[in-house]
Chain A
């Protein structure tokens, strides 16, 4: 009986620790598209995550001027979202490799994007 109780308690503890570790391995970031001095930019310009993390980008297009849609793309992680004015989008991916990766507007490359920096843990 005592063994069974300890086994159950240990299992619960193991599950809790595992669950906490998963949550620690996720990262939520916000990116906002604005018009700054005549340029459409994603801001902030640089995002930093750790390799292996599950990354969730929440994307907001706040540009009042036309066009009404901007792109958010990170080629290496197959991220490509069309973000309409005031219609937030969410993209998720696993940052499975380290390095510096370009974030850009696939609809209009002249729009200023940014960089994703994936650090080795």
Chain B
């Protein structure tokens, strides 16, 4: 065989190990951008289902059913009622979890993989083809004083909140006692406003959002058409005054409810795979 010289003046066969190395490394290089669908199927489908409709294998074990991700209706948003969540809203829910439910914080999953899941979630519902709307800005809170809390107490009553949440905020209002349903016609219970964390956490700015933009898919409407931003803050600060120290559960541990079950399901699923 005639000796062939490469541009480097060496035999072309020396390129062979380099080529093999490149081919072997290619999948690893590709793994720098995780495949959202694969991450979803590994971590999320067990509850939310492969299609995202909320009917995963483990869903039957849960009282608070996994969200139907194909509906494109999200509770925890910073955008106006009826609008799609922002990417940050979705990422936040994945990172922080939905406290008290089996959707435990997904802190064991690398951030790049969670971001890939966020992108994948947006393919599960045709609603994401619609244009999104910008987040509603949460104004700075006023100083918490007894006067602001008293104003909030009055607004709480005038805004119809006791009908569902009860006079004392324990989630035992007349409508709650009749038994309420969400948009999927599953039973839903108004939040007990006297304990923390809420499903979206304890940050009062998140509580502001719950009141300001509502929880889509549930009977909780947006009150931004009825209350000014500072009035919403007054109600938030009134609600903070209802919480005694013994009713604040630490968020770095499993919160009572179904978090222990969610944690167990994750471990069982991990062990199987």
Query: A85 vs B180: C-alpha distance in the bound complex, in angstroms?
Result: 12
Within the complex, the shortest CB–CB distance from B55 to chain A, in Å, comes to 20
Query: A71 vs B182: C-alpha distance in the bound complex, in angstroms?
Result: 15
Chain B residue nearest in CB terms to A105: B160
The one of B73, B160, B180, B182 in contact with A108, judged by C-beta atoms closer than 8 angstroms, is: B160
Q: Let me know if B218 and A109 touch, CB within 8 A.
A: no
Chain A residue nearest in CB terms to B81: A66
Within the complex, the shortest CB–CB distance from A62 to chain B, in Å, comes to 14
Interface residues of A in 4-23 (CB under 8 A from B): none
CB-defined A-B contacts under 8 Å, sample of 26: A65-B82, A66-B73, A66-B82, A66-B183, A66-B214, A66-B215, A66-B217, A66-B221, A67-B218, A67-B220, A68-B218, A68-B219, A69-B181, A80-B174, A85-B183, A105-B160, A107-B160, A107-B164, A107-B175, A108-B221, A108-B226, A109-B158, A109-B159, A109-B226, A110-B223, A110-B225
Judge whether A57 is part of the interface by a CB distance below 8 angstroms: no
Judge whether A92 is part of the interface by a CB distance below 8 angstroms: no
Chain B residue nearest in CB terms to A66: B216
Interface string of B141-173 (1 = CB under 8 A from A): 000000000000000001110011000000000
Judge whether B272 is part of the interface by a CB distance below 8 angstroms: no
Judge whether A106 is part of the interface by a CB distance below 8 angstroms: yes
Q: Let me know if B178 and A82 touch, CB within 8 A.
A: yes
Chain A residue nearest in CB terms to B180: A69
Residues of B within 8 A of A (CB): 73, 81-82, 158-160, 163-164, 174-175, 178, 180-183, 214-221, 223, 225-226
Interface residues of A in 65-121 (CB under 8 A from B): 65-69, 71, 80, 82, 84-85, 105-110
Q: Interface size class for chain A?
A: 10 to 19
The one of B158, B174, B181, B217 in contact with A84, judged by C-beta atoms closer than 8 angstroms, is: B181
Query: A85 vs B215: C-alpha distance in the bound complex, in angstroms?
Result: 16
Closest 8 pairs (CB-CB, A-B) = A110-B226, A67-B221, A69-B219, A66-B216, A67-B219, A68-B183, A110-B225, A108-B221
> Which of B164, B180, B181, B219 is the most central at the interface, judged by chain A CB atoms within 10 Å of its CB?
B219
Within the complex, the shortest CB–CB distance from A48 to chain B, in Å, comes to 27
Within the complex, the shortest CB–CB distance from A68 to chain B, in Å, comes to 5
Query: A110 vs B160: C-alpha distance in the bound complex, in angstroms?
Result: 9
Query: A108 vs B73: C-alpha distance in the bound complex, in angstroms?
Result: 20
Query: A82 vs B217: C-alpha distance in the bound complex, in angstroms?
Result: 16
Q: Let me know if A65 and B81 touch, CB within 8 A.
A: yes
* A108 contacts across to B, CB distance below 8 A: 159-160, 221, 223, 226
Query: A109 vs B164: C-alpha distance in the bound complex, in angstroms?
Result: 13
Within the complex, the shortest CB–CB distance from A29 to chain B, in Å, comes to 23
Chain A residue nearest in CB terms to B174: A80
* A85 contacts across to B, CB distance below 8 A: 183
Q: Let me know if B82 and A107 touch, CB within 8 A.
A: no
Q: Let me know if B163 and A66 touch, CB within 8 A.
A: no
Interface string of A47-75 (1 = CB under 8 A from B): 00000000000000000011111010000
Chain A residue nearest in CB terms to B73: A66
Within the complex, the shortest CB–CB distance from B165 to chain A, in Å, comes to 11
* A110 contacts across to B, CB distance below 8 A: 223, 225-226
> Which of A67, A84, A110 is the most central at the interface, judged by chain B CB atoms within 10 Å of its CB?
A67
Query: A82 vs B181: C-alpha distance in the bound complex, in angstroms?
Result: 11
Query: A107 vs B183: C-alpha distance in the bound complex, in angstroms?
Result: 16
Q: A66 and B218 in contact (CB under 8 A), knowing A80-B174, A106-B160? A: yes
Within the complex, the shortest CB–CB distance from A88 to chain B, in Å, comes to 15
The one of A67, A68, A84, A107 in contact with B163, judged by C-beta atoms closer than 8 angstroms, is: A107
* A71 contacts across to B, CB distance below 8 A: 160, 163, 175
